[in-house]
Amino acid sequence: MRVRPHTRFTLPDELNAVEPPEAHGLARDQVKLLVAEGSTVTHTRFDRIGDHLRPGDLLLVNTSATLAAAVDGQWITGSGVAPVAVHFSTALDDGTWVVELRSGGSPMFDAAAGDRVELPEGVLTLLAPYQPGLTRLWTAQPPVPDVVGYLRRHGRPITYQYVDRQWPLALYQTVFANQPGSAEMPSAGRPFSFELVSHLPAAGVLIAPILLHCGVSSPESHEPPLPERYDVPAHTARLVNWVKGNGGRVIAVGTTAVRAIETAARPDGSVVAAQGWTDLVLGPDRPAAIVDGLVTGMHAPEASHLLLLESVVGGDVVQRAYDAALERRYLWHEFGDVSLLLRN
C-alpha cells in the first residue's frame, strides 16, 4: 500500500520554474532560500546560507553529473511506427539499461517486450518490464556498449512539461559534478556557486563528497525511488562519524545525499564506507538516523520525496515550510528556489 506524505498543498502553475535563474539575470546562488527549524521559518537568499550553518557542520554533496539522457527515436511495433523520446535512466551491471519511453511529453504504458526503437547509430530493444506487472520502465539493450559516450553525442537533458524549451547541459550540472551517471540533475546542489563553496570552509563549514546516480522520476507517477547506484567513500564516512561525535550537524545537500548516507548507517548510529545499489526508502517506518537536516528544492504535491523530508525533520515542519513557500511565491522544481530544513 502506498504511503502518502503528511504535507498537503496545491501548486499553482505559475510557481513552476520554467527556466534557470540565469535566464532572467540572476546568479545561480541568488535564488530564494527558506530556512525551517522547529516553529521558525526564515526567508533569505541562497548565497547567505552560511548565516544558518555553524562551524563544525558538515555538508554532504552529491558528485554525480547529469547525462544528456533523452534521445529522440522511432518506436517500431507490429502496427506501425511512432515518434518517441527514450529516457536512459540507469545503467545495470550486465550492460543493459533501464529506460522510459515517452510520447508527447507523457510516459508510455503500451510498449511490449521485443519492441524496438530506431535511434541514431542503431536500435534499442525492449527486453522486459523493469518492475513486475508495470510497463512504464523497461530493461533494454542499448544501441551501443558505451552509452555515456553515446548520450554525449546524441542526447539532450531530460525536461518535463513545465519547462517549455531546451537548455544547455551545462545548466543541469552542479559545481560538485564530476562522475557522469544521473538521468536527472541532483538539483539541490545547483544553487551552490564556486564562490560560495570557497567561502564556506573559511567559516568552519566542512564539505564532503558522496555519490548517488539519480534515475528518472516521472513526475506524473509520484512513485517511490527505484534502486540507485551509490558510493559513500571511506573518508566521508570517517568525517561523518567525527562530526557527529563532536557535536556538529550532518546536513545532506539533496534527497540523494540523504538516501546514500542513510544506506551506510549502522544500528549503533555510525556510518561505514559502502557502495553498490540502494533500495532504501525513508518514511514513517524508517526515519532518517544520521542527517540533522538537508538542503532541498521544492517538491511537487504527493511526491515521494516529501516523505523523505518528513523522515528527517517531521511532517509539521515540512507543512509549515511549504505553506510559507506558497505564501511567498517560491518557485518549484530543478530551476527553482531552495529550502534548508533543520531538525530541531
pLDDT at 223: 72
Spatial CA neighbour of 254 closest among 213, 295, 293, 214: 295
Q: Name 293's bridge partners.
A: 251, 342
Q: Which residues pair with 116 in a beta bridge?
A: 76, 125
The residue count of the chain comes to: 344
- Classify residue 137 as left (phi > 0), alpha (psi -120 to 50) or beta: beta
Q: How far apart are CA 214 and CA 258, in angstroms?
A: 13
Could you tell me what percentage of the chain is helix, strand and coil, using 3-state DSSP and rounding each to the nearest 5? 25, 30, 45
DSSP sequence for 128-148: EESSTT--SEEEEE-SSS-HH
The second-level CATH assignment, the architecture, of 13-66+167-342 is 3-Layer(aba) Sandwich (3.40)
* Predicted local distance difference test score (pLDDT) of residue 221: 59
Q: Which residue carries 539533496 as its cell?
A: 254
Strands 122-129, 116-119: pairing is: antiparallel
> Rounded distance, CA 341 to CA 344, Å?
9
How far apart, in whole angstroms, are the C-alpha atoms of residue 49 and residue 196? Answer: 9
Is the pTM higher than 0.85? The answer reads yes
- Model pLDDT for residues 174-224, shown as the tens digit of each residue: 999 999 999 999 999 999 999 999 999 999 999 999 999 999 986 665 677
Which residue in the block uniquely carries the three cell numbers 525533520? Answer: 313
H or E element at residue 235: helix 234-245
Which cell goes with 199? 567561502
From residue 332, alpha-carbon distances to 21, 306, 325 in Å are 12, 13, 9
So where are the chain's domains?
13-66+167-342, 70-154
CA separation for the pair 100, 152 (Å, rounded): 18
pLDDT > 90 in the chain, percent: 88
The CA–CA distances, whole Å, from 189 to 18, 196, 294 equal 18, 12, 11
Please tell me the predicted confidence (pLDDT) of residue 53.
97
- The number of beta carbons lying within 10 Å of the beta carbon of residue 56 is 14
pLDDT at 220: 61
DSSP class of residue 17 equals -
Residues near 149 by Cβ (< 8 Å), separated by ≥ 6?
none
DSSP symbol at 271: B
Distance in angstroms (rounded) separating the CA atoms of residues 195 and 286: 37
Sign of CA dihedral 22, 26, 29, 30: negative
For residue 56, what is the DSSP state? T
* Among the listed residues 158, 136, 143, the one whose alpha carbon sits nearest the alpha carbon of residue 96: 143
Q: Which residues of the chain have pLDDT under 70?
A: 1-2, 218-222
